[in-house]
Amino acid sequence: MASSDLRVAQVFVAGGLPTITYNPRSTRNLEEELRDYLDEGFKILSVSGPTKTGKTVLVRNVIPESEAIWLSGGSITSINDFWETVADKLGLFTGVEYSSDVKDEEWRTRQGSFGLSSIKAVFERKEIVGDTKGNKVTRARHVSNQVREAVNGLLEPIVIDDFHYVPQDVQLEIVRAIKDLVFNGLRFIVIAVPHRAYDVVRVEKEMTGRVQQVEVGFWSEEELLGIARKGFEALDFLDKGGVLSARLASESFASPHLMQDFCLQLCKKNGYRTKQDRTVDLGAPEWDEFFKQRSSMTSKTAFDLLARGPRQRTDRQARRLKSGAEKDIYGVILEAISYTGPKVALTYEEIRSAIREILASEIPQRGQVIRVLEAMSKIAKKDLEGEPVVDFDKELATLYISDPYFAFFLRWGSR
């Protein structure tokens, strides 16, 4: 029987804002860097880190939603979206109305009497006779002007989460529009995935030296273990020797999001959903089954779309793998990515080397591989909801697995 109302899902929070298991990663001084920026300002702050590594959680712990203007990059498709959203957050009105009244008045007095023969009363009433004339003029102020006036010298920072979702041409317009406001003291923060962290500079060369970076980065195993230790202690669960926590951390792809989810599911697997009235030991599940069950259907859908390619075709060349299976070039490249572990950032040369290791037939040409990687990146952005699971940066010739859940699926999911 539970000794408190504390629930496991309140302790291990995957995808939300944890409190008990929040880890500030003190050795990295991330919170201090954020506070220093708020004190100093006069730059744009770019908080970068791989998907589901705690960027937003970090910033929200230092700057609560009530103390900032929070915007979602996914909802900004134009510069006007940016201005309108900020205006809504500030409660601004862009219409101005002017009116004037002219009264032409004339007073009229009416008199009379009423009553019985012995009692009479006299009344007198004055009335206004005339009319009123008025003029109204309305003028709409441009929303950008309203916002610029409102935020000039504003102490609350503007934060754009998922800045990498904003189209690059719109990023350029936003950065150019707020440069002078930042110079005047506006705190402006963008949160982005790491390979897009310098989008602010890439889209506007003049911002070089005016962008401050806070790199969240992947989590170390010790930092991930801190989540398990705090949570199990709060729930009074015992992980003897930390063996279970170590296994979970090793499969988390350096993501606190995955670690939170694993810890939550481990508790449930042991039959516990709330804190118990005494200390209880946690037992190990059948690990292969446990991790295979954690590979989500969402990731399988993403995998199937990427494996299919831009459209279903019957004329793609079948290539034989050393395992004996046959796959077209899309399947071959996905298997090669998986073969690397998978690593979450892969250069073209690393992908080519992995293809050589798994393929029994001739290796495809560089141009073919690059075209497939670009096509996969487009599919991930256009055909899948949420964060693209992969993103190919042609300029750097590097493929990024943006979603640790997808990387986890490549290792454990049934394909």
Q: How far is CA 249 from CA 219, 220, 228, 322, in A?
A: 10, 9, 9, 31
pLDDT of 194 reads 67
Of residues 329 and 204, more confidently modeled: 329
Q: For residue 58, how many other CB atoms are within 10 A of its CB?
A: 24
Confidence band, pLDDT 50/70/90 cuts, at residue 1 = very low
- In whole angstroms, give the CA distance from residue 56 to residue 252: 18
Examine residue 17 and state whether it is found in any structural domain, yes or no: no
pLDDT digits (tens, 9 = 90+) for 65-107: 999 999 999 999 999 999 999 999 999 976 656 566 666 555 5
pLDDT of 104 reads 58
pLDDT digits (tens, 9 = 90+) for 200-251: 666 556 666 788 989 998 899 999 999 999 999 999 999 999 999 999 999 9
Q: Which two tokens stand for residue 383?
A: 């055909």
The runs of H, that is alpha helices, within 251-365 are 256-269, 287-294, 297-308, 329-339, 348-358
Examine residue 19 and state whether it is found in any structural domain, yes or no: no
Q: Are residues 310 and 259 in the same domain?
A: no
pLDDT digits (tens, 9 = 90+) for 50-71: 888 999 999 999 999 999 999 9
Q: Are residues 273 and 301 in the same domain?
A: no
Q: Are residues 54 and 73 in the same domain?
A: yes
Task: Write the CATH number for 348.
Answer: 1.10.10
Examine residue 234 and state whether it is found in any structural domain, yes or no: yes
Tell me how many degrees the CA angle 304-308-309 measures, rounded to the nearest 5. Answer: 120
pLDDT of 2 reads 46
The answer to whether residue 195 scores a pLDDT higher than 80 is: no
Q: Are residues 304 and 406 in the same domain?
A: yes
Domain limit, last residue, from 196, 215, 234: 215
- In whole angstroms, give the CA distance from residue 289 to residue 302: 21
Domain with 118, as residue range(s), is: 95-140
Examine residue 16 and state whether it is found in any structural domain, yes or no: no
Q: Are residues 165 and 196 in the same domain?
A: yes
Examine residue 18 and state whether it is found in any structural domain, yes or no: no
Q: Are residues 34 and 78 in the same domain?
A: yes
Task: Write the CATH number for 83.
Answer: 3.40.50.300
Q: Are residues 161 and 181 in the same domain?
A: yes
Domain limit, last residue, from 241, 263, 294: 294
The answer to whether residue 413 scores a pLDDT higher than 70 is: yes
Q: Are residues 234 and 283 in the same domain?
A: yes
Torsion of CA 230, 236, 240, 244, to 10 degrees: -60
The answer to whether residue 112 scores a pLDDT higher than 70 is: no
Task: Tell me if residue 154 falls in helix, strand or coil.
Answer: coil
For the ranges 50-54, 121-125, 382-386, which has the lowest average pLDDT? 121-125
Domain limit, last residue, from 215, 249, 273: 215
Q: How many domains does the chain have?
A: 4
pLDDT of 105 reads 57
Q: Are residues 39 and 103 in the same domain?
A: no
pLDDT of 287 reads 97
Examine residue 15 and state whether it is found in any structural domain, yes or no: no
Helices (H) and strands (E) in the chain, counts: 16, 16
Q: Are residues 365 and 272 in the same domain?
A: no
The answer to whether residue 114 scores a pLDDT higher than 50 is: no
For the ranges 2-11, 48-57, 324-333, which has the lowest average pLDDT? 2-11
Query: Which bin fits 185, alpha (ψ -120 to 50), beta or left (φ > 0)?
Result: left
Examine residue 323 and state whether it is found in any structural domain, yes or no: yes
Contact 222, 256 (CB under 8 A): no
Examine residue 1 and state whether it is found in any structural domain, yes or no: no
Q: Are residues 320 and 199 in the same domain?
A: no
Q: Are residues 45 and 155 in the same domain?
A: yes
